[in-house]
Amino acid sequence: MASLQSIREFARRITVNYLELHFLINNAGLAVSKYEETIDGFEITMGVNHFGHFLLTELLLPLLKRSIPSRIIILSSIAHYRGRLIKPDLQIQPKKYGEVKAYCLSKLANTMHAVELSERLRDSGITVVSVHPGVVKTEILRDVKSFALKCFIAVNRPRVISPWKGVQTIMYTVLSDNLISGGYYSNCALKEPSKIVKNKEEIIWLRNRTRELLGIDKLVTAND
């Protein structure tokens, strides 16, 4: 997910080898302690967590549309509440980098992306949601050295859940017949996202700026 060329090749293989695709779960994610860039020059947290998923989703949308009913499930996080859009390029500069800030920004972008997609694909037969799986015990923070974040993890250790429990809300959004497209789900229930997630102007700005940075000429719509 850190290489646009690799993502394009993966999407090509999927569309060539599979006639149908009913579920796309965007689950790749990372958090790193030091500023790094992807091979394409993006700050790596946003590059993997947002830009990579955005491109992959666009490339697979035609197949998802041919396979309706289908669903796109974007892994977000409770961290999105602390996220703030950084303009004009959606990326923290090296001298201002902080792993928590970068991660929260990427999760905000994920949640807003789900809302934008749900509006763009309205009445297409594709349902789009974002999911906070919980504070799950995984290896995502293996490279994080932030003292503040380590303190946060220590305080919240009793709330840390197993991967088996963490996947429950994801499976709920896969199997439920009562999803609201564009919704943000946690603990197998619809939750209220941060206020900016409902700001249509900011959602459109995020979509258009992401498209520009990725060099995407035209976005897939419900009428394509």
Kind of pairing between the strands at 70-75 and 184-186: unpaired
- Residues facing 73 on adjacent strands: 25, 129
Q: Is the peptide bond before 94 cis (omega within 30 degrees of 0)?
A: no
Active site residue 103: yes
- Catalytic-role residue among 35, 103, 172, 184: 103
Cα–Cα distances (Å) from 209 to 113, 213, 215, in that order, read 12, 6, 10
What is the enclosing helix (H) or strand (E) of 36? none
Cα–Cα distances (Å) from 113 to 11, 42, 208, in that order, read 19, 18, 11
* Three-state SS annotation for 70-96: EEEEEECCHHHHHCCCCCCCCCCCHHH
Helix residue ranges, H only, the chain = 4-17, 44-46, 53-66, 99-120, 147-155, 163-166, 168-175, 200-214
The neighbour count for residue 207, using CB atoms within 10 Å, is 19
- Show which residues are catalytic: 103
